[in-house]
Amino acid sequence: MILGNTYSLQYEFYGPTYINEGLLNEGITDGLLKDGIQFLVAGAAEYGLGAITLPVAGSGLAVGPTVETLVDSMFAAEEIKSAIETISSLQSTFGEYQNIIQDAIDAYDMDNLEGYYDSLVTVVQTGFKDLVPEDMADKFEEKIKKFKETLEGIINKLMGPIKSGLKLVIPDATLSLAVAKFVQELLQNLAENAFSAFASGISNFTMFKDFLADPSSAIDFFKDVFRQLESLLGEAADKIEDASWTKSMLAFGPGGALIVKKLGPSGMRKISELLASSAPTVIEIIDKVLNVVIPMMITCLALFQIVMKQDYVTEMDEEELEDTLEDSSTLAAGNFSRKNQNMISEKSLRHEIRRRIIVQSRYTQ
């Protein structure tokens, strides 16, 4: 849960609802439920029922597809919950990098990704200064390599929960698929600029970005739509119960009449109850996806990029680096003689020098 700028991986899901079992016990299939809800939503105004309206956060979305996605989420809730629960064990994989990763998590700031990245550079610099004391300076490169491998392991374990969670938090099937593809490519390819690619690409998905910046707006959105659906079904049940079947059939039309007849007032009330009982689980999962799973992904991408681009190294201006390249003592210390200097690329040489500078400088500060 986010508390200020911090969040914890530790959480529990309360009261899971086995909606499929509840429906089958009432003789209601998921297809019948979806058809019934879609029919009522599409013709609410015509049939004298309260129309479904989307909260401001859902502006631009079509009501029908949004409601369908929300209803689908009820049936997928148990599967998604199971996938997300797997991240509760992630902390055990942090190992000796626990403090670095936790400090990075505590600094999370979706509102200022550039500033967040800069703060994580400092976190890594400070963390490795504590992790690799002066008498272990020769272990620095080894620790960095293991840190990279740890991040790769965490990201790999996040793929499943993220893929499942994105289906739920974005109430539009087309947009959800687009975001899922964008995120999946980032996680699978893990380019050295993965975080920058995310920070740039997220701007193409306004709703997703807004939900991440303010998870409470997503919670309010879904609560509101759930509430409206419950109310709609209750109204429909009362309407059918109070009118003769002939009048209902005329009011709802021949196609809808078959659905309404099959469900009946008791069926609609049961669906309304199931919506009410399922909503807390769905809402809780959405909360965990936006407040825990995605922030963890963003944090790991940032840390991974810092390692890959060696941004933990104190920046040298170009003139100073050129001077260092010509320093024979530095070259000797790096086992690079002028004789074999031509056998390596300048990029590799710069890489080695920068690595040695950070090792040496952190113990002379």
**pLDDT value, residue 246:** 52
Closest CA to 37 of 70, 77, 78, 8: 70
User: How much is the pLDDT for 35?
Assistant: 81
- What does the pLDDT read at residue 253? 65
Q: What is the pLDDT of residue 107?
A: 93
**pTM for this prediction:** 0.78
Q: What are residue 3's phi and psi, to 5 degrees?
A: -130, 100
pLDDT at 60 over 60: yes
**Alpha-helix residue ranges (DSSP H) falling in 44-172:** 63-85, 98-106, 113-131, 140-169
355 pLDDT higher than 60:
no
In this predicted model, which residue has the larger pLDDT, 167 or 314? 167
pLDDT at 254: 64
Of residues 307, 118, 289, the one with CA closest to residue 194: 307
Structural contact between residues 275 and 74, judged by C-beta atoms closer than 8 angstroms: yes
Task: Please state, in angstroms and rounded to a whole number, the distance separating the CA atoms of residues 293 and 275.
Answer: 25
Q: For residue 247, what pLDDT band results from cuts at 50, 70 and 90?
A: low
Q: Quote the distance between the C-alpha of residue 155 and its chain's center.
A: 12
The radius of gyration computed from the CA coordinates of the chain, to the nearest angstrom, equals 27
The 10s digit of each residue's pLDDT in 97-154 is 999 999 999 999 999 999 999 999 999 999 998 888 777 777 888 999 999 999 999 9
